[in-house]
Structure 1
Amino acid sequence: MLQRPRRGDPVWIWVLHGWEVFSWGLIALVTLITMAGGTPTDRKLGILALTAVLALCYGLVRTRPAGQPAAGYGYGYLCALVVVLGLLSYLGDGFGVFYTVTLTQFIVFADSPRGAVLFTGLGALAITLGGSLREGGQPDVFLTNTISSLGVWAVAVVMALLTPRALAQRDERAALRAELKSTQLELAEVYQRQGAAEERERLAREIHDTLAQGFASIIVLAEAARSQLAVDVDRSAQQLQSIEQTARENLAEARVLVGAAPRSGVAPGSVAVTLRRTLDRFTEDTGLDVTADLADIDCDRPTRIALLRCTQESLANVRKHAAATTVGVVLAHGPDTVELEITDDGRGFVVEDSHGFGLDGMRKRLAEFGGGLTVTSSLGDGTRILATIPLAPDSQE
């Protein structure tokens, strides 16, 4: 039995059910006109009783108890509808029109297209027999009624065949909507997981470039201070002061990472000033010879931070791995980029065999700005790091 239409159903389903409701209005109107007309009293009572019985059956099938099979109630009502239509056609002239009016009910209450076609055919047969018997069973009357009924039945067959197709379209659209909603939820979860992963990666990179490098520097300075404490007190005191300064910087960075301080950065202005302070600290801590050619370039804070982190990571690698004696740093302004070059005369390494977090972190950081990292090195020939970042003309603060 076809259920009440719901939101998203095809227009055909809404028309079908609208016609079902409208049919009861027409039945009531025709019945009232008959009751007020010149039909004999006994026939009036019969028509009124049959209409009441049909309405009662309709109410029962529409208010069937929950859990009861719909098909049994629907076919029971259709049997009653066929009988009532035949009797009404027999009792009164023109009541065969009720068959046309109630065509939608045959489709609504049937459980399948085959059932709808069968019961509409039985309804056509009932009104044909009823009307012919009322007219005395004359062959010409029977033939006329048959042709008329077959025409209406053909319309009913078309309706019965179209309805399942409309329902299939309804179900297909409902399935597509459900699939779309499910896909949207999955995408939202993917974006959420991706965002969380990117944030974890960003935090890991920040920790590596700030806290981890700071702690590594503290360890190296502490070892050097302890080894020289008995022979060079002044040098040890200077190294202890560097340890204190590095620890303070690490504390400030830690507060930034946990959100307890304003976003870290670097004071506004020339990136050369920022890099100069970093190089001076490096020279003071390691004693290496550092030459610097730093162009006076104004750029925005994110760019300055990226260049600073690349410098810090490169110098940390020099300290830990290169065994170099000299380091060169060049900051230059290209046509539309800022370029940072860091070289050393250390032991070098095979670039293809390097899978450290530091170099990967620098590449990803620069990629966020549309820049890139070029690493050139070989065993015994030192290392060259070239970082480039596009620099917009209006990127100054």
Structure 2
Amino acid sequence: MILMTSPAGLSADAFWATTLRRWNAVCWVLFAAMAVGITALSQGGGRYAALALLGAVALGFAVLHHFPANPLVRPHGYLAVLVLALGGLAYLGTSYAALFMVTLPHYWMFGRTPRISLAFLGLATTSTLLGGWVRQGWSGKFFGETMVGTLIVVAVGVLIGLWTRAVVEQSTERARLIDELERTQAELSEAHQRQGAADERERMAREIHDTLAQGFASIVVLAEAARAGLATDPGRSARRLRSIESTARENLAEARELVASGGQGQQPEPGSLAQTLRRVLDRFAEDTGLTVDAELADLDCDQQTRVALLRCTQESLANVRKHAGAGVVGVVLARRPYAVELEVTDDGTGFVPGTSTGFGLDGMRRRLAELGGRLTVTSSVGDGTRVLASIPLEGVA
């Protein structure tokens, strides 16, 4: 049996099983042909003995083929029967060479290791030569036909068997490697999907924090201030109520934009970043009553840079509003030799940066890191806070 490469669409195991089934069918046909030949050509008691030996081989092969999973059926037992049958046929001088050639692949099919296969093949050779010697003695016919013919058949069988087993092992190894590669690709794809889902959740959380959550926080602060000033300063409370209404409308629009755009959030209008920040700062000063000193350079940035700097400004101002207790806030937008910088300072109570556990600063850092930028926070208790956002000039005209 010669096994080259499996056809397209068949695995190595499937091709190997298909080839074995075909060879088994051929074996049955050849066994039947040998039985007919023995019956037709042999004479006397040797005919029935040869048929009995051939029948024993066929029976052993049939049992082994139909009950491969039965622990009582041993492939080596069948090979032993085959060895004895070859010796008997050689002694009878009836079709032993044909049986040897037909069953030669069985030593490689049913031997569990190459060493076992070669051992049984050697036993079969010895049994055949022994049967021929007992029948013919040390005659010229024994040396010229039996021995030479048997050794040639065995040599060819050994070479074909070793080569076939090597090809099968290579095919099996390739199939194993392909299975491992497919498994690894599936695991990698699943990991990418999990990572993508985690990144999307993080991005959504950051967008919600920087937009809706900040708006709601502003509404809460304005509502508390408006309620406290209803009796003493109705006019200012009315302005704060208008700010609450405006912020609520903006939050509603932002929520609708988040749903409609798949979580991207509302984007700043095209134009100067300085104009966008100026509107944010004016609104912040109106809502809080704090003094805002702003130096905003007129820079044209790409959309991602505009969004990042706008969100950093909003988050910094929200932190000032909620935690700083400041009176003056300074905002500087400037172009440096290698980057655009946004600096937000306040004269509030300050804090220890390493103790901050909120989502805001971490969200700003990640947003800037996606653009190759960085966030530097400098603060100490009682000395105010300085937040510096820096983005490389690639996104700045």
Q: Distance in 2 between matches of 1:40 and 1:103?
A: 23
Counterparts of 1:93-172 in structure 2, within 5 Å, are 95-96=96-97, 98-113=99-114, 115-134=116-135, 136-138=136-138, 141-142=141-142, 145-146=146-147, 149=150, 153=154
Q: What is the match of residue 278 of structure 1?
A: 280
Partner of 1:7: 11
Question: What is the match of residue 340 of structure 1?
Answer: 342
Q: Is the 8 A contact 1:20 1:105 kept in 2?
A: no
348, 367, 372: which one pairs with 1:365? 367
Aligned residue for 2:3?
A: none
Alignment partner, residue 241 of structure 1: 242
Q: Is the 8 A contact 2:89 2:95 kept in 1?
A: no
* Distance apart, 1:367 and its partner CA: 0.6
Alignment partners' CA distance in 2, 1:219 and 1:43: 113
1:292 aligns with 2:294: yes
Q: Deviations over 1:326-362 (max 9, x none)?
A: 2222222344533212222333333344343211111
How far off its partner does 1:239 sit?
A: 0.3
Structure 1 residue 102: deviation in Å? 2.7
Distance of 1:7 and 1:25 partners within structure 2: 26
Q: Distance in 1 between matches of 2:54 and 2:142?
A: 28
Letter in 2 for 1:382: G
Output the CA distance in 2 between the equivalents of 1:211 and 1:92: 98
1:7 corresponds to which letter in structure 2? S
Paired residue type of 2:323:
H
TM-score scaled to structure 1, two decimals? 0.78
Aligned to 2:310: 308
On the 8 A contact 2:376/2:387 being kept in 1, the answer is yes
Residue in structure 1 matched with residue 266 of structure 2 by the alignment: 264
Which is further off, 268-277 or 183-192? 183-192
Shift of 1:313: 0.7
Structure 1 residues 372 and 115: alpha-carbon distance in aligned structure 2, compared to 1, 3 A threshold: closer
Cα distance in 2 for partners of 1:368, 1:65 equals 64
Contiguous gaps of at least 5 residues in structure 1? none
The answer on whether the counterparts of 1:26 and 1:101 sit within 8 Å (CA) in structure 2 is no
Matched to 2:344, the amino acid is: I
TM value normalised by structure 2: 0.78
Give the match for residue 196 of structure 2.
195
Q: CA separation in 2, counterparts of 1:392 and 1:346?
A: 34
- How far 1:237 moved relative to its partner? 0.4
1:391 deviates by: 4.0
Q: Give the match for residue 70 of structure 2.
A: 68
Of 343-352 and 51-60, more deviation after overlay is shown by 51-60
Deviations 1:32-66 (A, max 9, x none): 996899x5666996699469737843761364147
Residues 21 and 146 of structure 1, relative CA distance in 2, 3 Å threshold: same
CA RMSD of aligned residues (A): 4.2
Structure 1 residues 14 and 156, CA gap change in structure 2 (3 angstroms): farther
**Cα separation, partners in 2 of 1:47 and 1:389, compared to 1, 3 Å:** farther
Gaps in structure 2 of 5+ consecutive residues: 1-5
Aligned residue for 1:392, secondary structure, equals helix
Residues 220-258 of structure 1, C-alpha deviations (whole Å, 9 max, x = no match): 111111111112111110000001111122222233344
Question: Percent same amino acid at aligned positions?
Answer: 51
Contact 2:35–2:51 (CA<8 Å) still a contact in 1? no
Contact 2:54 2:85 in 1 (8 A): no
User: Structure 1 202/350 Cα, relative in aligned 2: closer, same or farther at 3 Å?
Assistant: same
1:322 aligned residue (321, 324, 338): 324
